[in-house]
C-alpha cells in the first residue's frame, strides 16, 4: 500500500488550505526536533550516551577510516535517540514522550516518530528539485519524501539506509543517510534476511510483529553492514557513469575537491590581519532577544581569535540573525548555540579548522547537541556548501563548470 504518492503530493501543492496547514506541521516538526535534541543532551543521559556510542562505533568496520567523524557521530546520536534501549527498558524518545508536555500537533508527530525505524529504501522515482518516491524494501510501502537537495543527488535504483519521519501529510528524512548503488541491493538484503531469520527463531513471536523489534535492535548492525558493503563494492562495467551519482559518491567528490583547493598567501595575510580587531566586535544587527545578541558576540570573539577575517565574521552573524528571525529560538544554553554557529560556518566553507569535538571541549558542551542544533539551522535556512548568502570564500567548483557542467550544477546545490 502506498503511504503517499507523488500525484497526491502534487495535488496537495495546488490547495492553499492544505499547503498552509502543512507549513504549520513543518514548523511544529522543527520545534519538536530541537526539543528532542535538548532533552537527549541532559546530563542524566550522559552515561547511557557513552555506552550507546561505544556499541554503535564498534559495529563499524575499522577499514572505514575515522569512525568518529561528524557525519558518523550525527547518525550515532540519531540512533541513540530512536533505537538504543536504555537501562530502564525504553528508548530515549519514549522517555521524552512520557515526561514532557506537548501540543496536539507534537503529540501526533511523536506517536509516529517513536515507532519510526531505520530501513532500507530503493529510489523508485525522482522529481528533480522537488521530491522522490522511495520503496521500503522491508515492508514494501512507498513514500514520497520532500527533500529537494537529496532528490537532486540520487538516481532511480539507488539504495538508501534512512529513517523516514511523518510530518503532517508529508515525509522527511530524519537525518543524513547512507547511499549505495543499485547493484548492492541483493547482497545487502540477503545479509539482512539471513540475520532476520535467525533473530525471528530466537524471539519466537509473529513474523509481522518482529520486524519492528528487529529493526530497532539491529539498526546499528545494519548500518555497519551498509558501510562495509560500500567500502568493498566495486562499480561494474555496465554502470552508466553519465547518470547522477549517489549522495555518497557526491560527498567523496566534493571532499576531494575541497582538500585539493590551495589556500593562497593572500588569504593567509587577510586572515592574520584582523584577529585582535574582530575579537568581541559584532556588526550592528538588531536582535529579537538579548540572548541572541550575546551569542553573536561570543561567535564574533571566537572566530576573530581563530583567525577568521572581518567578512567571514559578518557572514556568520548574518547566518545567526536569519535563523533567529525565522525561528526566534529560546536559548537554554547560549554556549551551545555559539558553538553551533561557529561549527556551521566551518562546515559551510569546508575550512576544516575547527572540529565538532574541539568546539564541544572549548565551549563545555556536548558534541551531539552541536550536531542536533546544526541540523536545525541547516533545515531552517536550507544551508548549502559555500552558501552565497553567508560565505566569502570562492567555490572550488568554478573550474568544474567548464569540464563537467552537469556535475557542477549538482554540487552547486549541495546542502549541508
Stronger pLDDT, 274 or 145, i.e. the higher one: 145
User: pLDDT over 90 for what percent of the chain?
Assistant: 30
Pick the CATH number of 262-381 from 1.10.472.10, 1.10.3720.10, 3.30.1360.10, 3.40.50.1010: 1.10.472.10
Phi-psi label, residue 64: left if phi above 0, alpha if psi -120 to 50, beta otherwise: alpha
Angle, vertex CA 178, rays to CA 255 and CA 130, nearest 5: 90
What confidence tier does 208 reach under pLDDT thresholds 50, 70, 90?
A: low
Cβ 347 vs Cβ 336: under 8 Å:
no
pLDDT band at 397 (very low <50, low <70, confident <90, very high): low
Which run of H or of E encompasses 143? strand 142-145
Using DSSP, state whether 172 is helix, strand or coil. strand
59-63, 72-76, 365-369, 399-403 — which is least confidently predicted?
399-403
Higher pLDDT, 80 or 265: 80
Does residue 308 contact residue 278 with C-beta atoms inside 8 Å?
yes
Distance separating alpha carbons of residues 13 and 66, to the nearest angstrom = 42
Q: Which residue in this structure is represented by grid cell 502506498?
A: 2
Residue 326 has pLDDT above 80, yes or no: yes
Q: Flag whether pLDDT at 279 surpasses 80.
A: no
Instruction: Provide the pLDDT for residue 40.
Output: 87
Q: Which range (54-68, 241-255, 278-292) has the least confidence? A: 241-255
**What distances in angstroms separate CA 398 from CA 181, 257, 407, one per listed residue?**
27, 11, 11
How many other CB atoms are there within 10 angstroms of residue 273's CB atom? 13
The whole-number average pLDDT for the span 102-120 is 94
The mean of the pLDDT values for the chain is: 76
Residues counted in the chain: 416
pLDDT at 79: 93
Average pLDDT over residues 84-99: 93
Report the alpha-carbon distance of residue 348 to residue 17 in Å, rounded: 35
Tell whether the model's pLDDT for residue 216 goes beyond 70. Answer: yes
Q: Which residue has the higher pLDDT, 238 or 296?
A: 296
Nearest CA-CA partner of 311 in 326, 344, 325, 319? 319
Model confidence at 6, in pLDDT bands (50, 70, 90)? very low
Residue 100's pLDDT band (cuts 50, 70, 90): confident
Comparing C-alpha atoms, which of 122, 138, 139 is closest to residue 180?
122
Task: Write the DSSP string, 341-384.
Answer: HHHHHHHHTT--SS-HHHHHHHHTS-HHHHHHHHHHHHHHHT-B
**Does an H or E element contain 132, and which?**
strand 131-136
Distance, CA of 60 to CA of 36 (rounded, Å): 26
Residue whose grid cell is 513543518: 26
How far CA 188 is from CA of 179, 184, 209, 338, in Å, comes to 12, 6, 22, 41
Burial degree of 141 (CB within 10 A; 0-12, 13-18, 19+): middle
Within 8 A by CB and 6+ apart from 214, the residues are: 196, 199, 200
Residue 121 pLDDT greater than 90, yes or no: yes
What mean pLDDT do residues 294-317 have?
90
pLDDT at 259: 36
140: left (phi over 0), alpha (psi -120 to 50) or beta: left
Domain positions in the chain are 6-231, 262-381
Q: What is the pLDDT of residues 350-379, one digit of tens each?
A: 666 677 888 888 888 888 888 888 888 988
What pLDDT score does 202 carry? 86
When pLDDT is cut at 50, 70 and 90, the band that residue 262 belongs to is very low
Statement: residue 295 has pLDDT above 90: yes
Task: Give pLDDT, residue 101.
Answer: 87
Give the pLDDT confidence score for residue 245 in this predicted structure: 33
Does 270 have pLDDT greater than 60? no
230: Cβ contacts below 8 Å, ≥ 6 apart: 178, 180, 184, 248
Confidence check: pLDDT of 320 > 80: yes
- Decide which of 85 and 288 is more confident: 85
CB 52 within 8 A of CB 81: no
User: What local confidence, expressed as pLDDT, does residue 206 receive?
Assistant: 65
Highest mean pLDDT among 170-179, 257-266, 319-328: 319-328
Pick the range with the lowest mean pLDDT from 62-66, 90-94, 260-264: 260-264
- Mean pLDDT of the region 38-42: 86
Confidence of residue 384 (pLDDT cuts 50, 70, 90): confident
Model pLDDT for residues 143-182, shown as the tens digit of each residue: 899 877 777 778 899 899 999 999 998 999 888 788 888 8
Amino acid at each position: 500500500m502506498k503511504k503517499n504518492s507523488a500525484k497526491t503530493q502534487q495535488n496537495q501543492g495546488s490547495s492553499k488550505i492544505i499547503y498552509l496547514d502543512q507549513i504549520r506541521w513543518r514548523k511544529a516538526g522543527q520545534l519538536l526536533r530541537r526539543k528532542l535534541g535538548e532533552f537527549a543532551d541532559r546530563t542524566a543521559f550522559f552515561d547511557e550516551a557513552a555506552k550507546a556510542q561505544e556499541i554503535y562505533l564498534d559495529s563499524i568496520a575499522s577499514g572505514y577510516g575515522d569512525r568518529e567523524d561528524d557525519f558518523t557521530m550525527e547518525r550515532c546520536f540519531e540512533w541513540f535517540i530512536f533505537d538504543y534501549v536504555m537501562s530502564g527498558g525504553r528508548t530515549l524518545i519514549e522517555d521524552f514522550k512520557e515526561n514532557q508536555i506537548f501540543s496536539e500537533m507534537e503529540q501526533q508527530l511523536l506517536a509516529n516518530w517513536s515507532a519510526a525505524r531505520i530501513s532500507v529504501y530503493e529510489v523508485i522515482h525522482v522529481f528533480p528539485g522537488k521530491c522522490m518516491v522511495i520503496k521500503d524494501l522491508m515492508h514494501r510501502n512507498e513514500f514520497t519524501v520532500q527533500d529537494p537537495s537529496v532528490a537532486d543527488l540520487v538516481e532511480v535504483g539507488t539504495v538508501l539506509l534512512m529513517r523516514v519521519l511523518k510530518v503532517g501529510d508529508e515525509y522527511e528524512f530524519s537525518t543524513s543517510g547512507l547511499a549505495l548503488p543499485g547493484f548492492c541491493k541483493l547482497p545487502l538484503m540477503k545479509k539482512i534476511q539471513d540475520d532476520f531469520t535467525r533473530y525471528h527463531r530466537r524471539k519466537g513471536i509473529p513474523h509481522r510483529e518482529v520486524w519492528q523489534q528487529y529493526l530497532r535492535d539491529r539498526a546499528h548492525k545494519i548500518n555497519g553492514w551498509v558501510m562495509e558493503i560500500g567500502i568493498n563494492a566495486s562499480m561494474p562495467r555496465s554502470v552508466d557513469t553519465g547518470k547522477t551519482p549517489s549522495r555518497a559518491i557526491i560527498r567523496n567528490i566534493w571532499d576531494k575537491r575541497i582538500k585539493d583547493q590551495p589556500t593562497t598567501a593572500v588569504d593567509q595575510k587577510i586572515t592574520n590581519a584582523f584577529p585582535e580587531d574582530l575579537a568581541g566586535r559584532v556588526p550592528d544587527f538588531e536582535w529579537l532577544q538579548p540572548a541572541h545578541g550575546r551569542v553573536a558576540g561570543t561567535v564574533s570573539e571566537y572566530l576573530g581569535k581563530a583567525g577568521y577575517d572581518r567578512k567571514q565574521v559578518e557572514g556568520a552573524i548574518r547566518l545567526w540573525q536569519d535563523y533567529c528571525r525565522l525561528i526566534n529560538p529560546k536559548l537554554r544554553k547560549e554556549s551551545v548555540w555559539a558553538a553551533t554557529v561557529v561549527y556551521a560556518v566551518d562546515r559551510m566553507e569546508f575550512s576544516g579548522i575547527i572540529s565538532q569535538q574541539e568546539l564541544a571541549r572549548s565551549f563545555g558542551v556536548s558534541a551531539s547537541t552541536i550536531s542536533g542544533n546544526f541540523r536545525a539551522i541547516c533545515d531552517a535556512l536550507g544551508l548549502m556548501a559555500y552558501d552565497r548568502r553567508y560565505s566569502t570564500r570562492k567555490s572550488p567548483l568554478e573550474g568544474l563548470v567548464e569540464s563537467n557542467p552537469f556535475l557542477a550544477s549538482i554540487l552547486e546545490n549541495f546542502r549541508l
